[in-house]
Structure 1
């Protein structure tokens, strides 16, 4: 009897130690607000929408200390729309992130559905990832700085922090039997954050991005409708065999002010056979540049402004589209977890582009993640509240 009691006590002590070395955290964000859009195919639209400043989500984050500096980690993160109760990211249960891995003194290796290196190292420097939300992201989030697309079946390495320097990369298997490069995605990036200076660079390469399971079409059950990118900024180029992004950015803080800039080169290589001559097999290139500014008026009040310019390089006499976009924002923090904000975005389009059939059409304004306008201009404003838990 005494031996049984001693064994039970030892087991209880061991369980207590194991519990002390492990942790699981429930976290989340709820972002809700009222929008005004002056041009939805020629009509004004007033509506509530979720997750503009940050996507509404809940998640579980866990870690277990394995000893010797080695830890097991995991993240499961769900995106949702609080207006309808539905799940985002194509209805996936953990559509934002879902991964498990090991962390050591040398870095972290994780496996699952994750973010690419452009998102990790350059994305935080554009205004859409700061005070502007997705409506202030680059037109159509054409360079994925705002994380419109996540990568499935991904192996990811992230280094430790070396005096402000971090680096990493990802590789995503396409999952097509007999075709190693189909749907394949890989990325590399590095960042520096030390004192007032922040820098980031990134590279992203995705094969057959609009195919079932490709970068543009991996958010739920695949279908022809899912495969179509809805942004008129670049929907005509998604038949490309390769989607490539080269990005860089930086920011410098002096006192209460921060000024930042980003640049990206986006290439849609080897356009598909559905295009008529002379566009079939050619490549379309876009360049994007952003200048942003924010000022912390008080510990609770932040104001910001940004200007973004996107230009399409001519391809056989077409795709000379240009997009000018400006954004203004105010963010007031009621507490560490709750803030209210106001954001306004205006976009003006010029030139022409290609539609999904390969025909030359006039470029129209299309603020990111909104229905396109009927002409060259579009304005949207949002007042919202965000709560973190």
Structure 2
């Protein structure tokens, strides 16, 4: 009799756990019409962007199951695509944005698989423009695509303090097509360093603002895209940023230092400062100034302005303007995936619509 009662109770407990499971389909479709002058082959460009609008388009599946005792298992499968053609971005991978699973609890979140790394998390609050058509992606395409294949990640939040890190056994299996794709899959027997990557972050946030810092080290590997063509080559990024909030306004800024040690050494800095202001709950304005310096070579300055009108909780209309000022040897385009005549200044504009589901 006791065994029968125990079996009934166990079945009831299992049913309760299953009842707390969930799987959700979500996504963003974002596109519009963009314009920029002084294209690389002369003249101007008018058309639809392929990489991003205000944010990149994506769809995904997210699921979780309550395991009891404060623990939950989860998975994320997320695909990036180009609304103008329907093509898959991120090297043509079906789930190129994320493909991972893990366990979360009060002690933090442990994630396995392709995932966002700390170079992306560190910019979430201070970079008011984000991965937009006119953004810091013009200077470093890796930043809005900071993800790692074959990675183990941890992220924990404790009383306003966030600590996180990732370690990848082979950071990038795609390439060379797609933004920041490097064809460095790694996991090569006998070469333990090839295509390894680690990132780490420390942040603090409260009601009025916060600050964060991260460090990112990636190694090259045989057959990978230049300049990281061997295990001895490295690419390192250090990011420090902060933001403050007062009323309907948020101001954020920071500094990004990159050092590439390969056949030729290169060092660059990005300084950025921006503000976001909600004129009304339905209308917001964003602005940002960025300065890029490639040591002993060139420099560029980018000015960005953006307006958002929130028609509903799901639909947004927006307009973005950008102006890039290049030095004589610089060739940084004002728009993501755009082109520019070397040494030319460039104006860009986009009007778009975004819908979330």
- TM-score, normalised relative to structure 2: 0.86
- In the alignment, structure 2 segments of 5+ residues that lack a partner are 171-186
Residue 163, structure 1, aligned to residue 159, structure 2: yes
Distance change (3 Å), C-alpha of 1:239 and 1:126: farther
Q: Secondary structure at the match of 1:26?
A: strand
The answer as to whether partners of 1:21 and 1:64 remain within 8 angstroms in 2 is: yes
Residue 153, structure 1, aligned to residue 150, structure 2: yes
Mapped partners of 2:215, 2:10: distance in 1: 50
Residue 40, structure 1, aligned to residue 39, structure 2: yes
Mapped partners of 2:283, 2:207: distance in 1: 22
> What's the offset of the Cα at 1:127?
3.5
The answer as to whether partners of 1:290 and 1:306 remain within 8 angstroms in 2 is: yes
Mapped partners of 1:36, 1:267: distance in 2: 33
The answer as to whether partners of 1:139 and 1:323 remain within 8 angstroms in 2 is: no
Question: What CA deviation, in whole Å up to 9, does each residue of 1:184-222 have, x standing for no partner?
Answer: 11000022221111211111100117x65x6xxxxxxxx
Structure 1 equivalent of residue 49 of structure 2: 49
Residue 342, structure 1, aligned to residue 319, structure 2: yes
Structure 2 equivalent of residue 221 of structure 1: none
Match of 2:239 among 230, 242, 247: 247
> What's the offset of the Cα at 1:238?
5.5
Structure 1 equivalent of residue 97 of structure 2: 96
Structure 2 equivalent of residue 279 of structure 1: none
Match of 2:274 among 292, 295, 300: 292
> What's the offset of the Cα at 1:49?
2.6
The answer as to whether partners of 1:110 and 1:157 remain within 8 angstroms in 2 is: yes
Residue 385, structure 1, aligned to residue 353, structure 2: yes
Structure 1 equivalent of residue 338 of structure 2: 371
> What's the offset of the Cα at 1:139?
2.9
Mapped partners of 1:266, 1:91: distance in 2: 27
Match of 2:288 among 286, 306, 312: 306
Residues 221-370 of structure 1 aligned to structure 2 (within 5 Å): 227=225, 241-269=233-261, 271-272=262-263, 282-314=264-296, 320-351=297-328, 362-367=329-334, 369-370=336-337
Residue 24, structure 1, aligned to residue 23, structure 2: yes
- TM-score, normalised relative to structure 1: 0.79
Structure 2 equivalent of residue 60 of structure 1: 61
The answer as to whether partners of 2:219 and 2:228 remain within 8 angstroms in 1 is: no
Distance change (3 Å), C-alpha of 1:193 and 1:134: farther
Structure 2 equivalent of residue 172 of structure 1: 168
> What's the offset of the Cα at 1:262?
1.2
> What's the offset of the Cα at 1:387?
0.6
Mapped partners of 2:169, 2:228: distance in 1: 20
Mapped partners of 1:134, 1:166: distance in 2: 29
> What's the offset of the Cα at 1:18?
3.5
Q: Secondary structure at the match of 2:134?
A: helix
> What's the offset of the Cα at 1:35?
0.5
Mapped partners of 2:335, 2:98: distance in 1: 22
Which has more helix, going by share of residues?
Answer: 1
The answer as to whether partners of 1:365 and 1:378 remain within 8 angstroms in 2 is: no
The answer as to whether partners of 2:125 and 2:252 remain within 8 angstroms in 1 is: no
Q: Secondary structure at the match of 1:135?
A: coil
Match of 1:206 among 200, 203, 218: 218
Structure 2 equivalent of residue 136 of structure 1: 135
